[in-house]
Amino acid sequence: MAKIYAYRQKLLSGGFELEEKKERCFVEAYRKGYSVVEIASACSMKSAKYLHASLVKLKVIPGGRRGRQSKKIELPDKLSKLLKKHGLTFAQWCAGWGFTPEGAADGLADRRSEVWQAVKNDFPSYYQEVTGINVNSSESGGARESFDVDLKLTWSGLKKNYVAQIAALGVETVGKTPHEAVYQALAQRKLLEEIAILEKLPPKPKNK
């Protein structure tokens, strides 16, 4: 019952529409040349799992094979930890780059390969540590678009819910309690911040 109620509140508040818009922005950023890890970092997302799943759902990248990673594939321990930190399996990371896990594993043996260029792109500090080649890059994520909050909370007898509004952003959310209404409003503000970041990403030069 609680899940049904939460779904209804989110639906009434327009949260699903914003999530769909954000997913479309994922697609556009990916088509501009940004990797899954780069897009997640730009939005300061702790995990790229949802992002990867969105791109698979929208048929932009193939889904990774089910089951455990083949025992034939052995990754450097630090690379495995970096992938885990981003919420990705090796197969999922490969899918985002258009590699097969087996081919990518073989490519790790040759530091001139496309696989190492992908490693350099997504994990520059690790690439620099392994190769000794200096990489001028930041892994801290993009500059967050910050929206000031002028939030107004009222009770609506008509809607029989509390209503939270951020007029400047066109946000109006509802909740059975003040906390629920405000939580939905701040969640939408966060979505709008991430959408703004993604929409402003310029096409990435092909030689980088």
pLDDT of residue 52: 97
112 lies in a domain? yes
The encoded tokens of residue 104 equal: 């990518």
Domain check: are 154 and 206 in the same one? yes
55 lies in a domain? no
pTM for the whole structure? 0.83
Domain check: are 98 and 129 in the same one? yes
pLDDT of residue 67: 47
Give Cβ neighbours of residue 133 (< 8 Å, ≥ 6 apart).
Answer: 127
Domain that holds residue 122: 72-139
Question: Which residues does the chain have with pLDDT short of 70?
Answer: 1-15, 64-71, 137-148, 207-208
57 lies in a domain? no
Domain check: are 25 and 84 in the same one? no
61 lies in a domain? no
56 lies in a domain? no
Q: Last residue of a domain, which of 113, 139, 165?
A: 139
